[in-house]
Amino acid sequence: MNYGFIRVAAAIPELRVADCAFNVSKIAEMAKEADKKQVQVVCFPELSITGYTCADLFLQQQLLTDALQELHNLQLQTYNTQCVLIVGMPLRISNQLFNVAVVMQSGKLLGVVPKTNLPNNNEFYEKRWFASALATNIAEIKIADEVVPFGTDILFSDGNFSFAIELCEDLWVPIPPSSQHVLQGAELIFNLSATNELIGKHAYLRQLIEQQSARCNAGYIYASAGAGESTTDVVYAGNALIAENGKIVAASERFSYESQLVVSEVDVERLQAERLRNSNFSNSKSTQTYRIIHFDSVKFEIADLQRTFDKHPFVPSLVNRQASCEEIFSIQMGGLAKRWRHTQAETLLIGISGGLDSTLALLVCIKTADKLGFDRKRIIGVTMPGFGTTNRTYTNALSLMKSLGITVKEINIANACVQHFNDIEHDVKQHDVTYENTQARERTQILMDLANKHNGLVIGTGDLSELALGWATYNGDHMSMYAVNSGVPKTLVRYLVDWASHQLDAFSEIILQDVIDTPVSPELLPADEKGEISQKTEDLVGPYELHDFYLYYFVRFGFSPAKILFLAQKTFDDMYDAETIEKWLKVFVRRFFQQQFKRSCMPDGPKVGSINLSPRGDWRMPSDATEFN
């Protein structure tokens, strides 16, 4: 496979009601187009050979004969194509008529799947013409001279992935057939449909497809009848939708009068990873035994990937900005409020550096105090300037604490650090890791001792990205009594602070915006000759937006470094060259493995999103594991 990607398509061809020859000619054209695009499986709408709206014409011998004849013609016209085709047609078997999906490849029929659930309401009267799959136990049928598997108990597999089929109404019932199909191993579900348009129905349909693909940890490819259908009483828009595990990744233009081929990839490796992690996925085993039909899959060029990926997978979309930020803050506040009340602590102690992380942690603290009805003065913010503190961060730290109305303390750590250097016989001019970590540990010692003095809790400020990279001083800023940011990656920290800035007074907003614009730095090395930050974190360990991207796909789905590199180079090709992306990925992997010992004893903190690195819950890893190549 190509890093686990399968290329699929949902096709909406031009159509004439009851004109089987015309319809098949258009299906064949689109099949050849799909084949050129290296599509592996392409799905057409329900009853696409005849049209869905033939009504009582379905009972006419001529239409049924034409449909069979044109199916044979389609086999001949697609003999030289490699992609698997799924088309819909009416098929008479003995004295029953079935609404079926026919699966074929290179002119050969692979299987026929009948529709199970037939609508019989004010708009559709399928039971007037068709029998349900439940009405027969036939396992094989003969079409022309071919004996073909028949039934709903069929999986189609190339050895790397499997797919199954349901038809339209099957999706809308309490337990869709696809729910059983996935338990038998199907990673992809193809739905041949003919869904008409009503006010609000399209939004509901999208939700239905997204939810079923999420519930099934599956790819869901949906192709519905288009504008060529009869408009006697209802209208069809030609919906082609491709979903992956709860998200629509590709969609057609609705109400188009031209053929549409919607092509995208489904990441089967990601779906398999989800199922591997979901211990309940296989709890409800189907009692039905499925037949496996093998086919040869088309090989496509992975460099021509149609999918796009979010640069910032942890950051909610702007559409959901308000609700997402409120929810994230509520989770952080909920964790802190419980810990504050349970310990009966009088105060919260927090180190304020003028940087992003401590700013977010402070905002969580004041929101929690307000929620509990506590005086904000019970929050003691301590700024501890050292050898690398710049005027910009120092001023922002003091101004922010004053504007938010908390208790402000300032303790310069320079003299204490110099004394410590003398004690351990370290040259103060030697700006190495000892020089840096001494400052971080001095600050933590001050906070811990102040907490003892004021019956308080030390609130940790380090974020999820720093934990992943081990970018924290062991038993320095690595340690706290409750780490409110431990589930929030750096890209999300910036997003949350920006959102919060607009909820406060104008003066506080100005300060927060300047904090956002300040380069990320531990400020443990002296400032440059201009008095500005000389130690920029992203110059040392790499851009956080890259590391958060790596973190998401490494931990959430267990992707290999090679696949993550491929995704990152495709996603960030407009920002970083391939060599830069690979360089920082190697740094990420190396540090992630080497720094696990810090995560093995990290403080408590609330999980916010789908990824967390707490050794007590989400991430259990030996501290001395060998890193992946």
Catalytic residues: 46, 115, 168
Question: Cα(237)–Cα(257) distance, rounded to whole angstroms?
Answer: 9
Question: Cα(250)–Cα(240) distance, rounded to whole angstroms?
Answer: 8
Question: Cα(124)–Cα(196) distance, rounded to whole angstroms?
Answer: 10
User: What residues contact residue 517 under an 8 Å CB cut-off, 6+ apart?
Assistant: none
Could you tell me what percentage of the chain is helix, strand and coil, using 3-state DSSP and rounding each to the nearest 5? 40, 20, 40
Instruction: Sort 464 into a burial class: Cβ within 10 Å, 0-12 / 13-18 / 19+.
Output: buried
Task: Specify whether the CB–CB gap between 42 and 31 falls below 8 A.
Answer: yes
User: What residues contact residue 554 under an 8 Å CB cut-off, 6+ apart?
Assistant: 561, 564, 588, 589, 592
Question: Cα(301)–Cα(572) distance, rounded to whole angstroms?
Answer: 20
Question: Cα(87)–Cα(48) distance, rounded to whole angstroms?
Answer: 6
Tokens of 110: 């692979």
The identity of residue 202, as a single letter, is H
E strand segments, 253-391:
260-267, 291-294, 347-351, 379-383
Q: How wide is the angle at C-alpha 423 spanned by C-alphas 418 and 425, nearest 5°?
A: 90
The conformational region for residue 144 under phi > 0 = left, psi -120 to 50 = alpha, else beta, is left
Give the three-state DSSP class for 200.
coil
Tokens of 509: 């907003």
CA 376 to chain centre: 38
Nearest to 239 by CA among 263, 218, 256: 256
Tokens of 179: 């729910």
